């Protein structure tokens, strides 16, 4: 048999094994009747019949599932704990890279992966490995797509799929595998090990090829009546499938044989002999039967009585059951009529596909994923290896559109939405806009937040506890920390975002953790509707938690800025980061940031609840609104904060280095040529080293742009140096003290 390759060459060696398996069949504990039920021709015949029903709507529905399964991406990963080498080194292959935090979290949350990843510190995505080579080129005749299609079709139609694994590679590793016809495979039960082995051959053949259990991987859909064989969808929906086929046969007979004649012709002059009756029937059919003679007349020289006939109600109701049978068939394959109805609207089609992917294709992929992890991956002798599919479920488009609308209303730039949908960005689309006013960030005038009093109270408490906090600002006035809720990195300057640096990534991860921890508390508070209270965010607990979350990244950025500042003036302060003055400045700025960002979060949550109540939303809808806000914040807002605060810390480190050296008199703002109008307005401006460019209670910055004045409020915190706005790419240059 061509598909078995080396199995045929090993036939002689398998003779003894086959005899052993035959003895098991005849001597297994239990009656022969039971064995025959599990292993006899009736079971195999049923598999064959199931495969033969691969036509009509069964073909269409099964193929749709098979194409979805074969199109899903199955990745190879390896866990890695502290101190462990990268997986696969013994094969001399390159390994790939460590997965990002989001992928690690998704894999760890997976039901099929959580045990494997329980003690892992990270996960590597393997891109070069013998397993991947084999899965790409399954065998000399079949590729990965065809093989996964066959797997899906087999378990859908007959309930089982069998892979014969050729383990003639190094140390018994697999080099290729073959899909066996399921109606040719007999499972040999065992009273101790459950499965003794497998036999392969045509039903009724006197000799079959015997396989050991570890040579075959069996995928199966659960069969409660028989644990050794799976139950396919065809068996589950056999009544609907056979009923539909009967209807097709009936209609074909009507079309082919005119089984229900339009009329009966009766000769009134007496009885016709057999010969004359045949002649008359031939004349009548030749004159009138067929589409081409429709509407013709027939002239007869005898006296006839013509009685018309019609299909009886029973036959009509039989044929009307086609729709019910169709629905039952596709439902058995996890699909719905909206996926086939050309009159269905887009929302119904998208909803049907979403449910199909969630409740049909994803469980099938999980079945395949777990079986490969259980049987195939361990053959490579690396316990840290595992496979996992990329998620295929796409969120309902109506929900996505609602989310995107909410994000845009809260400052997400339109280019983020366009790129998520595979569309080209537009000019000016990197700037976030305030809902209703439709003006660039920074020029809006909004009401003073209600959090001013609480914010100042917290600052007083921090000072009373001798936290070395900065002096209290008299006014946390308009728009406190709102810059992070409206603008996008790169928006004002037009610069493209570079990948996050290590300090930026640290801040980004810290802020995501803060938002993740805050989210369930905020959602719970939303249940109070009108009485929703988010002031817990303004307490000392969240101020310190936020500050601690970003402190490592802020410190690293400050050290990097100090090194740059030292290079600019040619003087290095080696113990820079350990100096009390530097530590105090870092602590103050970090606490200022933490307080301001939480104050902005609290205000945004209050505004979201107010908008939901005005729209008449229910409690679940209010909770969903808060959940969507945090989804966006953990995405673009966290990144925005990371980029901006890293720049702020870097410039802070630069200036503190200059102060410690004692050789710098002042600083000059240095803007890029493609900077925003506000930064270009600052270019070349000089102030003394210890003086700020802007203070929260100072005047707004007003510049002329496109023939009109635009305004930027600097009320977030004191501007001693860049950033002037989110993702500002400016810097400052030193002016040395004259000797």
Give me the pLDDT at residue 253, please.
62
- Contact, 209 vs 9, CB < 8 A? no
Please give the pLDDT value at position 1.
43
Distance between CA 624 and CA 389 in Å, rounded?
28
Residue 111, burial from CB neighbour count under 10 angstroms (0-12, 13-18, 19+): exposed
Question: In the structure, what pLDDT confidence band is assigned to residue 301 with cuts at 50, 70 and 90?
Answer: low
Task: Give pLDDT, residue 478.
Answer: 30
> What is the model's pLDDT at position 207?
87
Among residues 217, 218, 182, 213, the alpha carbon closest in space to that of 200 is found at 182
Question: What residue has token string 């033969």?
Answer: 52
Q: What pLDDT score was predicted for residue 443?
A: 34
pLDDT digits (tens, 9 = 90+) for 160-176: 999 999 998 888 899 99
Segment 327-356, tens digit of pLDDT:
888 898 999 888 888 788 877 888 888 889
d(CA 101, CA 87): 19
What pLDDT sits at residue 95?
Answer: 61
How does residue 579 score in pLDDT terms, banded at 50, 70 and 90?
A: confident
CA 356 to CA 630: how far, in whole Å?
Answer: 28
Are 25 and 34 in contact by the 8 Å Cβ rule? The answer is no
pLDDT in tens, 396-430: 566 667 667 766 766 667 777 776 666 777 766 66
**Range in 282-291, 307-316, 381-390, 612-621 the model is least confident about:** 307-316
**Residue 462 or residue 710, greater confidence:** 710
Bigger pLDDT: 235 or 175? 175
**Cα–Cα distance measured from residue 569 to residue 417, given in angstroms and rounded to the nearest whole number:** 44
pLDDT above 80: residue 656: yes
How many Å separate Cα 251 from the centre of its chain? Answer: 45
Please check whether residue 329 is in contact with residue 58, taking contact to mean a CB–CB distance below 8 angstroms: yes
Given a contact cutoff of 8 angstroms between Cβ atoms, the answer to whether 417 and 404 are in contact is yes
Torsion of CA 423, 425, 429, 435, to 10 degrees: 0
**Where does 56-143 have alpha helices with state H?**
56-71, 101-109, 130-136
**Continuous H helices in 110-232:** 130-136, 144-157
Specify the range with the lowest mean pLDDT, choosing from 130-139, 174-183, 703-712: 703-712
| pLDDT confidence tier of residue 157, bands split at 50, 70 and 90 | very high
Of the candidates 661, 681, 660, 687, the one whose C-alpha atom is nearest the C-alpha of residue 730 is 681
Give 521-570 pLDDT, tens digit per residue. 999 888 888 888 888 888 888 988 998 998 898 888 888 888 888 888 87
pLDDT higher at 12 or 509: 509
Q: pLDDT by residue (tens digit) across 589-605?
A: 888 888 888 888 888 89
522: CB partners within 8 A, 6+ apart: 534, 537, 605, 626, 630
Q: Is the dihedral of CA 392, 393, 396, 402 positive or negative?
A: negative
The structure tokens listed for 580 are 């009390």
Residue 228 is encoded by which pair of tokens?
């050794």
* 271-289: average pLDDT: 75
Confidence of residue 451 (pLDDT cuts 50, 70, 90): very low
The pLDDT value given to residue 572: 66
**pLDDT in the model for residue 189:** 93
How far apart CA 607 and CA 534 sit, in angstroms, is 11
> Which tokens is 253 given?
């007979």
Give the torsion sign (CA, 349, 351, 352, 357).
Answer: positive
- What is the predicted pLDDT for the residue at 145? 95
pLDDT greater than 60 at residue 28 = no
Q: pLDDT tens digits, residue range 435-448?
A: 444 434 333 333 33
The whole-number pLDDT of residue 20 equals: 54
User: Computed from CA positions of residues 608, 613, 617, 620, in that sequence, does the dihedral angle turn out positive or negative?
Assistant: positive
User: What pLDDT score was predicted for residue 162?
Assistant: 97
Higher per-residue confidence, 54 vs 160 = 160
What per-residue confidence (pLDDT) applies to 216? Answer: 96
Q: How far is Cα 18 from Cα 9, in angstroms, rounded to an integer?
A: 15
186 three-class SS: strand
What stretch of H or E contains 561? helix 540-569
- What is the pLDDT confidence band of residue 718, given thresholds at 50, 70 and 90? confident
Q: Residue ranges per domain, the chain?
A: 2-234+362-389, 400-736
């Amino acid at each position: 048999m061509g598909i078995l390759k080396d199995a045929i060459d090993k036939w002689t060696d398998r003779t003894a094994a086959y005899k052993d398996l035959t003895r098991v069949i005849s001597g297994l504990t239990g009656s022969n009747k039971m064995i025959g039920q599990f292993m006899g021709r009736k079971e195999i015949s049923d598999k064959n019949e199931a495969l033969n029903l691969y036509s009509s709507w069964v073909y269409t529905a099964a193929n749709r599932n098979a194409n979805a399964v074969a199109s899903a991406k199955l990745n190879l990963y390896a866990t890695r704990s502290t101190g462990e080498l990268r997986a696969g080194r013994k094969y001399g292959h390159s390994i790939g890279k460590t997965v990002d935090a989001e992928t690690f979290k998704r894999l760890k949350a997976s039901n099929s992966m959580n045990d494997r990843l329980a003690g892992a510190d990270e996960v590597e995505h393997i891109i070069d490995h013998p397993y991947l080579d084999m899965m790409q080129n399954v065998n000399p005749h079949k590729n990965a797509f065809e093989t996964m299609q066959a797997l899906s079709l087999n378990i859908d139609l007959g309930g089982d799929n069998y892979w014969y694994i050729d383990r003639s590679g190094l140390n018994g590793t697999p080099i290729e595998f073959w899909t066996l016809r399921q109606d040719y495979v007999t499972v040999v039960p065992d009273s101790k090990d459950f499965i003794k082995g497998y036999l392969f051959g045509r039903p009724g053949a006197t000799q079959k090829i015997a396989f050991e259990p570890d040579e075959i991987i069996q995928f199966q859909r659960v069969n409660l009546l028989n644990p050794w064989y799976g139950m396919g969808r065809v068996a589950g929906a056999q009544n609907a499938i056979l009923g539909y086929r009967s209807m097709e046969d009936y209609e074909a007979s009507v079309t082919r044989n005119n089984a229900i004649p339009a009329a009966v012709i009766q000769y009134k002059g007496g009885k016709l002999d057999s010969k004359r009756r045949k002649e008359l029937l031939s004349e009548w059919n030749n004159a009138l039967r067929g589409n081409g003679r429709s509407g013709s007349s027939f002239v007869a020289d005898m006296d006839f009585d013509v009685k018309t006939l019609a299909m009886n109600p029973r036959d009509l109701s039989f044929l009307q059951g086609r729709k019910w049978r169709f629905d039952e068939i596709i439902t058995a394959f996890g699909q719905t009529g909206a996926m086939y109805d050309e009159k269905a609207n887009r929302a119904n089609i998208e909803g049907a596909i979403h449910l199909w992917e969630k409740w049909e294709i994803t469980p099938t992929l999980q079945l395949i994923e777990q079986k490969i992890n259980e049987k195939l991956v361990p053959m490579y002798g690396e316990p840290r290896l595992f496979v996992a599919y990329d998620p295929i479920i796409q969120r309902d488009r109506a929900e996505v559109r609602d989310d995107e609308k909410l994000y845009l209303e809260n400052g997400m730039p339109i280019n983020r939405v366009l790129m998520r949908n595979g569309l080209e960005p537009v000019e000016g689309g990197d700037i976030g806009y305030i809902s209703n006013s439709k003006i660039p960030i920074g020029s809006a005038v909004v009401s003073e937040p209600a959090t001013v009093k609480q914010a100042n109270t917290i600052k007083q408490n921090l000072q009373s506890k001798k936290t070395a906090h900065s002096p209290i600002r008299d006014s946390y006035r308009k728009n406190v920390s709102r810059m992070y809720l409206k603008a996008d990195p790169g928006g004002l300057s037009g610069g493209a975002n570079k990948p996050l640096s290590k300090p930026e990534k640290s801040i980004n991860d810290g802020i995501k953790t803060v938002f993740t921890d805050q989210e369930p508390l905020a959602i719970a508070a939303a249940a109070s509707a009108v009485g929703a209270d988010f002031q817990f965010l303004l307490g000392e607990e969240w101020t310190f938690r936020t500050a601690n979350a970003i402190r490592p990244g802020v410190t690293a950025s400050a050290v990097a800025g100090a090194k740059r500042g030292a290079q600019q003036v040619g003087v290095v302060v080696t113990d820079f980061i350990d100096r009390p003055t530097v530590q105090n400045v870092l602590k103050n700025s970090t606490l200022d940031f933490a307080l301001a960002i939480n104050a902005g979060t609290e205000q945004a949550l209050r505004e979201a609840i107010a908008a939901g109540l005005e729209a008449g939303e229910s409690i679940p809808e209010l909770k969903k609104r808060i959940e969507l806000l945090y989804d966006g914040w953990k995405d673009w807002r966290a990144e925005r904060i990371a980029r901006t605060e890293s720049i702020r810390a870097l410039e802070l480190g630069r200036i503190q280095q200059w102060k410690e050296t004692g050789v710098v008199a002042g600083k000059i703002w240095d803007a890029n040529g493609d900077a925003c109008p506000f930064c270009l307005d600052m270019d070349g401006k000089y102030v003394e080293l210890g003086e700020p460019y802007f203070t929260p209670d100072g005047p707004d910055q007003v510049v002329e742009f496109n023939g009109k004045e635009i305004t930027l409020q600097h009320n977030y915190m004191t501007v001693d140096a860049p950033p002037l706005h989110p993702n500002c790419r400016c810097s400052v240059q030193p002016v040395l003290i004259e000797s």
